Amino acid sequence: MDFYVITLFPEMFESPFRGGMIGRAIEQRILAIHPHPLRPYGLGRYKQVDDAPYGGGSGMVMRPEPIAAAIDAVCAGHPALWKVLLTPQGEIFNQALAREFAAKTEGILLIAGRYEGIDERVRSMVDQEISIGDYVLSGGELAAMVVIEATGRLLAGVLGNPDSLKEESFAERTLEYPQYTRPEEFRGMRVPEILLSGDHAKIRAWREAEARRRTARRRPDLLERRKF
């Protein structure tokens, strides 16, 4: 699966995906990340991509023409890309959206903003607007990386053991159950006896109950949503 990113800072994408499972997936050609620099589409001698906001106000706003030209250039060879604008005003990204994105086999184009944001007219050129949370970043690059990481690990062949996707947090709209490894006792805290019992049916029941209890305590909103 191909992820294209229109960005003023393509070099930001060089190291984060070099290691780990996404790095391996890139080597295995399960996915590819193509940062597409915005600057060459800038206007005039100085390749300007921003300008002062109409109506006044602080900061600069990204002009629509360079972004439109970059979108056209990327989509010329890949017309079916799903175009996503990264903005704190978008739909909040979550595991369900990551699953939807992982099914977009034609690939995804992510557009990372900077400055005070992007000219409103760019919104008409995209399929979806996504936010990674209710806070404001300086740019969309980190948001693009979050989307790529969360989506990429769901692609077939990326995780060593695909079963882990079934049990992890949000898979069933609950948080994951508590996990333990060696040693059996650490600073006076013991691993729950049931996990040492070898009784797999009981262990499964314990984990389900713990996942529900933990979710009710920490994220009751997830259980509420599950009712609908």
Residues in contact with ligand SAM by the rule CB under 6 A: 86-89, 112-114, 116-118, 131-133, 135-140, 143
Question: Which pairs count as long-range contacts for 190-195, CB under 8 Å and 24+ apart, including other chains?
Answer: none
Question: To the nearest whole angstrom, how small is the minimum distance from the Cβ of residue 132 to ligand SAM?
Answer: 4
Q: Is the CB of 112 or the CB of 150 nearer to ligand SAM?
A: 112
Nearest residue (CB) to ligand SAM, 16 versus 178: 16
Q: Distance between CA atoms of 48 and 41, rounded to whole angstroms? A: 8
Shortest reach from residue 30's CB to ligand SAM, in Å? 25
Q: Which is nearer to ligand SAM, 35 or 113 (CB)?
A: 113
Burial class (CB in 10 A: 0-12, 13-18, 19+), 193: exposed
The closest of 66, 82, 64, 168 to 121, measured between CA atoms, is 64
* Residue ranges of E strands in 38-106: 50-51, 61-62, 82-92
Report the half-sphere exposure of 117 (CA within 13 A, side-chain side): 17
Q: Which two tokens stand for residue 61?
A: 């706003």
CB of 145 to ligand SAM, least distance (A): 11
Q: Which residue is nearest to ligand SAM (CB)?
A: 113
Provide the minimum distance between the beta carbon of 102 and ligand SAM in the complex, in angstroms, as a whole number. Answer: 19
Closest contact distance (angstroms) between CB of 50 and ligand SAM is 11
- In the complex with ligand SAM, which residue's Cβ is closer, 133 or 220? 133
* 227 vs 213: CA distance, rounded Å: 16
C-alpha distances out from residue 97 to 11, 84, 132, Å: 26, 12, 11
Q: Which is nearer to ligand SAM, 138 or 181 (CB)?
A: 138
Q: Which is nearer to ligand SAM, 87 or 215 (CB)?
A: 87
The minimum distance between CB 133 and ligand SAM, in angstroms, equals: 5
